[in-house]
Amino acid sequence: MSLRILSRITLAAALAGALSCAVLPDAVANTSFDPEGRFNGGRPVGAKVRGLFEMLQMQRQEVGFETKEKPGTVIIFTKERKLFLVLGSNRALRYGVGVGRDGYTWNGIHTVSNKKEWPDWRPPPEMLKRQPYLPKHMKGGPGNPLGARALYIGSTIYRIHGTHDPDSVGEADSSGCIRLTNDDITDLYGRVQVGAKVIVVR
């Protein structure tokens, strides 16, 4: 094994270990880099290190998370593009998510009103008005924009769902829905119950 490959593996392992450190709801913004490319106030890091760290931040992982919310609660920080499923005992599962683009972010407290596997997609009237070329109905399946699973949020038009475009996770280009990879939404779907509280923080 070359020294270069070994160095990359060592760096990845170190960053992965760093991700298991405690993450507080009111300090999630501190997990990003400042305009000078510094992480947590340290010295500037290279673009490759920054890119690797941000990639690892999108991976599903159990982390420290202090909250008074009960286990099973879903908390989404749209600015940081992270979703936390409260486990209890100051622990949570963290997932990377895609969020709404500018003008389509939102916040509030709701509950999971329904769950569906390989859901059909029916764009809401608001979306069809903006994008009249969209189909009025698309049957569930691998090519469906809602992906493998969907959690419906209260009486809103928004959902927490999978995607056939995993590269969109970590981006802000949806119409307000929260996107996870199909693997992650399948995992989350099996853990979240109908009636669970959903907190969205803009």
CA distance 168 to 173: 7
Q: Which residue has the tokens 């099996």?
A: 190
Structure tokens at 8: 């990359």
Could you tell me if 20 and 63 are in contact, meaning their C-beta atoms sit under 8 angstroms apart? yes
Question: Which two three-digit tokens encode residue 145?
Answer: 């924009």
Query: Could you tell me which of 193, 194, 187 has the C-alpha nearest to residue 93?
Result: 187
Active site residues: 161, 177
- Following DSSP, what letter does each residue of 164-199 receive, concatenated? S-GGGTTSEEESS-EE--HHHHHHHHHHPPTT-EEE
d(C-alpha 41, C-alpha 56), whole Å: 19
**DSSP code for 51:** H
